[in-house]
Chains A and B, each alone.
Chain A
Amino acid sequence: QFVLTQPPSVSGAPGQRVTISCTGSSSNIGAGYDVHWYQQLPGTAPKLLIFGNNNRPSGVPDRFSGSKSDTSASLAITGLQAEDEADYYCQSYDSSLSGSKGVFGGGTKLTVL
């Protein structure tokens, strides 16, 4: 259903490192389109976390980092904290979708144990 595929859920204990994958194809990530990441806390609007594959907006802790390779991208969170419990979405562009300016992954729920 979603052009970009993310695991439905990941979990980790406080202080640990977790990664969230975002798998695409040759018409989106594999075609060289940049990947961006958003954090959505319960009941709130999404917040920009990473733009342009690995850039953090001002105010985002350096515990969050992004990477991209071939047809996939990843979000890594180190030093996991309780406040990181949220839904995370990747976003890019897909050249096969007429008129579209953005495609999202299905989202990953991060649980801090």
Chain B
Amino acid sequence: QVQLVQSGAEVRRPGASVKVSCKASGYTFINYYLHWVRQAPGQGLEWMGIIIPGGGSTSFAQKFQGRITMTRDTSTSTVYMELSGLTSEDTAVYYCARGRQFLTSEYFDYWGQGTLVTVSS
């Protein structure tokens, strides 16, 4: 069965960086795009970016440009999302999600369990 298993909770100081991992299993890793979506406490979902595991290319939401990096390791079927310059507004649960294309837009058919990142001094 398809599974996306994320790394554990993190606590960071303002200004620091955090790197979250997402290990995929149960399907051919390079055949599906992987996205990152975050959710601040009590708030809605926010799309952050996408990585194409086959070639490693990425695309990010404009608000994260310049401080987000996404990489992948095809040998372990794992993708990584690193966010730098953290502020308290980055406190959120971060999800990885597998993308599927339907005609005109992608949807997310499997999600990781989420990783809580807390930014606090």
Residues of A in contact with B (beta carbons under 8 Å apart): 2, 32-36, 38, 45-48, 51-52, 55, 57, 89, 91-93, 97-107
Contacts and interface: CB of A to CB of B under 8 A. Distances in A.
Contact of A101 (B45, B50, B113): B50
Interface stretch (B12-20, B72-80, B84-92, B100-108): B100-108
B111 interface: yes
Nearest to B46: A104
Contacts of A101: 35, 47, 49-50, 59, 99, 106
Contact of A93 (B61, B100, B104, B110): B104
B100 A100 contact: no
Given A45-B111, A51-B100, A99-B65, A106 B47 contact: no
A104 B65 contact: no
B121 interface: no
Contacts, number: 85
B62 to A, nearest CB: 6
Overall SS of chain A's interface: loop
Overall SS of chain B's interface: strand
Given A2-B44, A100-B47, A48 B107 contact: yes
Interface of B: 35, 37, 44-47, 49-50, 59-62, 65, 95, 97, 99-100, 102-114
Given A101-B35, A106-B44, A92 B62 contact: no
Contacts of A38: 45, 108
A102 to B, nearest CB: 4
B113 A107 contact: no
B102 A46 contact: no
Nearest to A91: B107
A104 B44 contact: yes
Given A34-B103, A51-B100, A99 B62 contact: yes
Contacts of A33: 104-105
